[in-house]
């Protein structure tokens, strides 16, 4: 009985995850090797097995490579920006009085809590060509922030960073607080500047935490969906601002190419799986017992 | 030096909070001021007209209720299920335990948006399209791996001696589980619930995909798209609806912020 008990406790989890997580993952793979479009969904035409045909189509499409490259570049920029802002502010938090610290923590908590949808709508309004505060403040009339590809990425990126830096800031701040004060004092006595104390003392001591935060940010930023979908109305002018997640969704539900969309989804899952393996290794390095 | 740091911190705090301030202030501005090309960062004539229009005219009261039903169902169910699973992986050693744990970890990384494609067909075959039930089930599934991962730390932090003491006093398995362990991990459950709540409450893509024709089953984030019109966006309405959507999460977050940060510690490293 005692050997079966853990499985008994895991039973409700399995009852949820097998049909609603495991099966869809399996089905995603299955759909990706079939020709599955609107005609097949409605039963007008039989579904045909096409093997790796969908993958060949996707990989042979220059558009896919462009979106992939764009996704990687956008995610990389977001990760760097989020970490730079988050880390700088975490250090700043350790050097300010109680009131500014409380104010910044509370503001960050608010940005973190705000739904992605809210962030998207408010930032869109701030950057609206005619009625937006930003154009008004900068004195540029009617400038459309959502026209040029890179300017659009910049605004969407700022929105994403606004959402994601608080987690990095608060996590790293908690980590810095856990460093014994004597270590930092010793560094200060030895004449280390704030800059050196950060890079030579804090960063090495926080390495495990930093690694986890970096990988979580990579995964998070690689999967961006809502902000792009909402702020650029489904991927921007002619899909110029599309990222993999939006591209897969649009291919499936926009163009009714469910097989092709699934193939893109599988490719994306595989990329994330590789990143996850690095994450698990990093967890192991920190000596966490699984 | 400290002076400068304080100033920088206050400026950053202001900039970070500003979009939220702007949302609320725009939600209470009269329509005339919103459409004015002379934007002012405050208003002297606050009005509830946008809230009234959004709640009654556009049926956001209904969407708000729908969002709350979905999120709260997910919170309760996922807390119970995750608690049991966390006990299984922390209090017992069994074959495949590590494998199970790694699977929970990997499950967190799957891009759930990609799963909308197969899930659309699963939900359709179950006859659950256009129902709130479809959203509850899907969010339960997607919040579980992380919830279990996080609960694990909280369960592990409870000394086993307490359960042993209860057992010596003659308590049965079920009593120990629900009367001893469950109350002890309650703070952890709260922290975990915040995350489940937020995933469900903030969801846009599943609501957009599963609720296709039944307006009555729409949830807030997807319903917000109603206000985006090709010619002219109703910014007053959008900001009022955004405010309605953001306030519950803000309250939730501020109420549990302390537990949240310690809970994250539990999730990141225990």
Give the domain extent around A261.
Answer: 53-285
B59 and B22 co-located in one domain:
no
- Closest residue, chain A, to B144 (C-alpha): A13
pLDDT at A24: 94
pLDDT at A93: 92
A245 to B202: CB separation less than 8 angstroms, yes or no: no
Q: What is the DSSP letter of A219?
A: H
A31 to B117: CB separation less than 8 angstroms, yes or no: yes
Contacts of A261 by beta carbon, 8 Å cutoff, 6+ apart: A248, A249, A250, A251, A252, A253, B117
Which segments of chain B have a pLDDT < 50? 263-270
B52 and B130 co-located in one domain:
yes
A268 to B114: CB separation less than 8 angstroms, yes or no: yes
Tokens of A207: 């390495």
B165 and B217 co-located in one domain:
yes
pLDDT at B73: 96
Distance in angstroms (rounded) separating the CA atoms of residues B80 and B181 = 12
Residue-wise pLDDT for A223-255, tens only, equals 899 999 999 988 888 889 999 999 999 999 988
> Hey, which residues does A177 pair with through a beta bridge?
none
Distance in angstroms (rounded) separating the CA atoms of residues A288 and B18 = 39
B21 and B57 co-located in one domain:
no
Distance in angstroms (rounded) separating the CA atoms of residues A264 and A271 = 11
B193 and B239 co-located in one domain:
yes
Tokens 């009131």, residue located: A99
Residue A48 host element (H or E):
strand A48-49
pLDDT at B259: 61
The per-residue DSSP string of A149-203 comes to HHHHHHHHHHHHHHHHHHHHHHHHHHHHHHS-HHHHHHHHHTT--HHHIIIIIIH
pLDDT at B263: 45
A170 to B261: CB separation less than 8 angstroms, yes or no: yes
Contact at 8 Å (CB) between A111 and B16? yes
Disruptive mutation site among A9, A33, A75, A118 for chain B (greatest number of B CBs within 10 Å): A118
Contact at 8 Å (CB) between B118 and A31? yes
Distances from the Cα of B2 to the Cαs of B7, B8, B27, in angstroms? 9, 10, 37
Distance in angstroms (rounded) separating the CA atoms of residues B43 and B150 = 44
Residue A69 lies in a domain: yes
Average pLDDT over residues A42-65: 88
Tokens of B192: 């975990």
Residue-wise pLDDT for A176-195, tens only, equals 888 888 888 888 888 888 78
Contacts of B104 by beta carbon, 8 Å cutoff, 6+ apart: B145, B148, B149
pLDDT at B269: 35
- Which residue, A133, A27, A40, is CA-closest to B25? A133
The per-type count for chain A, helices as H runs and strands as E runs, is 15, 2
Disruptive mutation site among A12, A18, A21 for chain B (greatest number of B CBs within 10 Å): A21
What's phi and psi for A276, nearest 5 deg?
Answer: -60, -35
Work out the number of other CB atoms within 10 angstroms of the CB of residue A36: 26
pLDDT at B87: 93
Distance in angstroms (rounded) separating the CA atoms of residues A73 and A96 = 35
- Closest residue, chain B, to A251 (C-alpha): B117
Tokens of B67: 């969002």
B4 and B82 co-located in one domain:
no
Q: What is the DSSP letter of A241?
A: T
**How distant is the Cα of B53 from the closest Cα of chain A, in angstroms?**
18
B25 and B61 co-located in one domain:
no
Contacts of A10 by beta carbon, 8 Å cutoff, 6+ apart: B84, B85, B88, B89, B100
B269 to A275: CB separation less than 8 angstroms, yes or no: no
pLDDT at A287: 63
Total of domains in chain B = 2
Nearest to B19 among A97, A162, A248 (CB): A162
Tokens 């090797």, residue located: A33
pLDDT at B267: 39
**How distant is the Cα of A247 from the closest Cα of chain B, in angstroms?**
10
Residue-wise pLDDT for B117-141, tens only, equals 999 999 999 999 999 999 999 999 9
pLDDT at A288: 60
Contact at 8 Å (CB) between A168 and A213? yes
The per-residue DSSP string of B202-229 comes to H--HHHHHH-SS-GGG--HHHHGGGG--
| B96 reaches A (C-beta below 8 A) | no
Total of domains in chain A = 1
- Which residue, A22, A45, A24, A25, is CA-closest to A35? A45
pLDDT at B266: 40
A13 to B246: CB separation less than 8 angstroms, yes or no: no
pLDDT at B231: 66
A200-214, A264-278, B34-48, range with greatest mean pLDDT: A264-278
pLDDT at A58: 92
Point out the domain boundary residue: B11, B27, B47. Answer: B47
A202-211, A261-270, B38-47, range with greatest mean pLDDT: A261-270
pLDDT at B265: 43
Residue A136 lies in a domain: yes
pTM of the model: 0.87
* Chain A residues with beta carbon closer than 8 angstroms to that of B265: 174
Residue B34 host element (H or E):
helix B31-35
- Which residue, A153, A140, A160, A159, is CA-closest to A237? A153
Contacts of B215 by beta carbon, 8 Å cutoff, 6+ apart: B59
pLDDT at B15: 95
Tokens of B25: 């202030």
pLDDT at B173: 86
pLDDT at A85: 96
Distances from the Cα of A150 to the Cαs of A66, A145, A154, A215, in angstroms? 14, 9, 6, 25
**Mean pLDDT for all residues in chain A:** 89
B142 and B226 co-located in one domain:
yes
Give the domain extent around B32.
Answer: 1-47
Q: At what angle do helices B97-109 and A258-285 cross, to 10 degrees?
A: 130
Q: Which residue has the higher pLDDT, A116 or A38?
A: A116
- Which residue, A275, A288, A266, is CA-closest to A221? A275
B66 and B22 co-located in one domain:
no
Residue A1 lies in a domain: no
B40 and B152 co-located in one domain:
no
B156 and B207 co-located in one domain:
yes
> What CATH number does the domain containing A227 carry?
1.10.3720.10
* Chain A residues with beta carbon closer than 8 angstroms to that of B16: 104, 107-108, 110-111, 162, 166
Say if residue A77's pLDDT is above 90: yes
Distances from the Cα of A203 to the Cαs of A197, B30, B94, B261, B266, in angstroms? 9, 50, 38, 20, 21
- Which residue, A201, A208, A166, is CA-closest to A180? A201
> What CATH number does the domain containing B68 carry?
1.10.3720.10
A9 to B87: CB separation less than 8 angstroms, yes or no: yes
Question: Positive or negative, the Cα torsion across A165, A166, A172, A176?
Answer: positive
B117 to A118: CB separation less than 8 angstroms, yes or no: no
Residue-wise pLDDT for A87-146, tens only, equals 999 989 988 999 999 999 999 989 988 999 999 999 999 999 888 889 888 888 888 999
B55 and B30 co-located in one domain:
no
């Amino acid at each position: 009985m005692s050997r079966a008990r853990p499985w008994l406790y895991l039973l409700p989890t399995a009852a949820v995850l097998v049909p609603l997580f495991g099966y869809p993952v399996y089905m995603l793979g299955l759909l990706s090797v079939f020709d599955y479009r609107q005609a097949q969904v409605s039963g007008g035409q039989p579904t045909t097995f096409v093997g790796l045909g969908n993958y060949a189509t996707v990989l042979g499409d220059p558009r896919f490579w462009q979106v992939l490259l764009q996704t990687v570049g956008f995610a990389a920029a977001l990760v760097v920006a989020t970490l730079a802002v988050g880390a700088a502010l975490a250090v700043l938090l350790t050097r300010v009085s109680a009131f500014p610290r409380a104010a910044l923590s509370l503001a960050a908590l608010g940005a973190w809590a705000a739904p992605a949808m809210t962030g998207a709508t408010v930032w869109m309004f701030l950057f609206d060509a005619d009625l937006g505060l930003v154009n008004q403040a900068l004195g540029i009339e009617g400038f459309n922030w959502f026209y040029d590809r890179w300017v659009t990425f910049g605004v969407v990126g700022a929105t994403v960073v606004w959402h994601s830096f608080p987690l990095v800031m608060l996590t790293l701040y908690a980590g810095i607080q856990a460093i014994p004060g004597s270590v930092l004092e010793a560094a200060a006595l030895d004449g280390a500047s704030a800059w050196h104390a950060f890079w030579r003392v804090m960063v090495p001591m926080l390495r495990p935490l930093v690694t986890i935060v970096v990988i979580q940010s990579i995964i998070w930023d690689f999967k961006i969906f809502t902000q792009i979908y909402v702020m650029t109305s489904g991927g921007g002018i002619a899909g110029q601002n599309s990222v993999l997640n939006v591209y897969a969704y649009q291919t499936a539900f926009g163009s009714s190419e469910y097989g092709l969309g699934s193939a893109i989804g599988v490719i994306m899952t595989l990329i994330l799986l590789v990143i996850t393996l690095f994450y698990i290794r990093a967890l192991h390095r920190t000596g966490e017992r699984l | 030096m400290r002076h400068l740091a304080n100033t920088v911190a206050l400026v950053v705090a202001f900039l970070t909070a500003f979009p939220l301030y702007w949302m609320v202030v725009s939600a209470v501005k009269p329509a005339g001021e919103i459409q004015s090309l002379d934007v002012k960062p405050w208003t002297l004539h606050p009005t509830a007209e946008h809230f009234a229009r959004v709640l009654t005219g556009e049926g956001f009261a209904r969407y708000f209720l729908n969002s709350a039903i979905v999120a709260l169902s997910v919170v309760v169910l996922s807390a119970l299920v995750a608690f049991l699973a966390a006990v299984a992986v922390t209090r017992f050693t069994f074959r495949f335990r590590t494998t199970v744990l790694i699977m929970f970890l990997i499950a967190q990384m799957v891009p759930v948006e990609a799963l909308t494609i197969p899930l659309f067909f699963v939900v359709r075959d179950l006859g659950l399209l256009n129902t709130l039930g479809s959203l509850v089930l899907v969010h339960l599934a997607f919040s579980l791996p992380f919830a279990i991962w996080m609960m694990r730390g909280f369960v592990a932090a409870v000394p086993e001696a307490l359960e042993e003491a209860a057992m010596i006093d003659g308590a049965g398995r079920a009593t120990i589980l629900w009367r001893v362990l469950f109350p002890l991990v309650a703070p952890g459950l709260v922290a975990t619930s915040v995350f489940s709540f937020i995933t469900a409450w903030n969801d846009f893509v599943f609501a957009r995909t599963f609720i296709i024709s039944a307006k009555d089953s729409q949830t807030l984030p997807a319903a917000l798209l109603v206000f985006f019109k090709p010619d002219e966006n109703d910014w007053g309405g959008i900001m009022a609806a955004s405010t309605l959507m953001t306030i519950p999460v803000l309250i939730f977050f501020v109420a549990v912020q302390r537990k949240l940060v310690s809970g994250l510690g539990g999730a990141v490293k225990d």
